[in-house]
Amino acid sequence: MSGARRAEFIESFARAWTSRGASRTEGRIAAYLLLDESDGVTAAQIAADLDVSTGSVSNATRSLADAGFLHHERRPGERATRHFMARDVWGRFLQHERPYLQAQRDLAARALPDVPEGSPAHERLTHMHHYMAWLLDDVRLDERWQEVKAGRADPAAGSSAE
């Protein structure tokens, strides 16, 4: 991807990322790593290429790794940690999402007995519990993603199965 189109993609991705309340730097780094063709980049490389501080890169990469969006690796003989995305970053994200969904479902279940039945809070917590359970038990996003991914053609080839 050319420099101008690459920069446009990174900024567009970051705008979408921030529209959900996440940091712009995280969005820019996620987009940068989506496009990266190397075997990993250092925080210094990311900071230089995106014109951000290495401290910002450190905070953002930690957050992205915690969410399953990237990996860190320190290679023998190198002092710097390299950051990269898995080829199936979205599947990895979904795997990391399951514990969150389980925790939210369980939190709602624990809170329900402590709020008056029939109250707005009870209804919201009930919906929270049902929603998380639905995603975990019925939708099973991580398993469904593997099925969908296996059945779809490369959209760049011009024949998407959508």
- Check residue 20 and give its pLDDT: 84
Q: What is the pLDDT of residues 25-68, one digit of tens each?
A: 999 999 999 999 998 999 999 999 999 999 999 999 999 998 88
pLDDT bucket at 104, cuts 50 / 70 / 90: very high
State mean pLDDT over 81-103: 89
Three-state SS letters, the chain: CCHHHHHHHHHHHHHHHHCCCCCHHHHHHHHHHHHCCCCCEEHHHHHHHHCCCHHHHHHHHHHHHHCCCCEEEECCCCCCEEEECCCCHHHHHHHHHHHHHHHHHHHHHHHHHHCCCCCHHHHHHHHHHHHHHHHHHHHCHHHHHHHHHHHCCCHHHCCCCC
- Check residue 140 and give its pLDDT: 82
Q: Is 70 exceeded by the pLDDT of residue 162?
A: no
- Check residue 158 and give its pLDDT: 64
Q: Is 50 exceeded by the pLDDT of residue 161?
A: no
> 36, 44, 84: which is closest to 64 by C-alpha?
84
pLDDT bucket at 70, cuts 50 / 70 / 90: very high
Tally of CB atoms within 10 A around 102: 14
Q: What is the pLDDT of residues 8-22, one digit of tens each?
A: 999 999 999 999 888
The model's pTM? 0.77
Which residue, chain included where needed, has tokens 């996620």? 30
Q: Please give the Cα distance from 141 to 97 (Å, whole number).
A: 9
> 90, 91, 93: which is closest to 63 by C-alpha?
93
The string over 63-89, giving b where at least 16 C-beta atoms fall within 10 Å of a residue's C-beta and e elsewhere, is bbeebbbbbeeeeeeeeebbbbbeeeb
Residue 146 or 59, more confident: 59
Using a pLDDT cut of 90, give the percent of the chain over it.
65
- Check residue 160 and give its pLDDT: 46
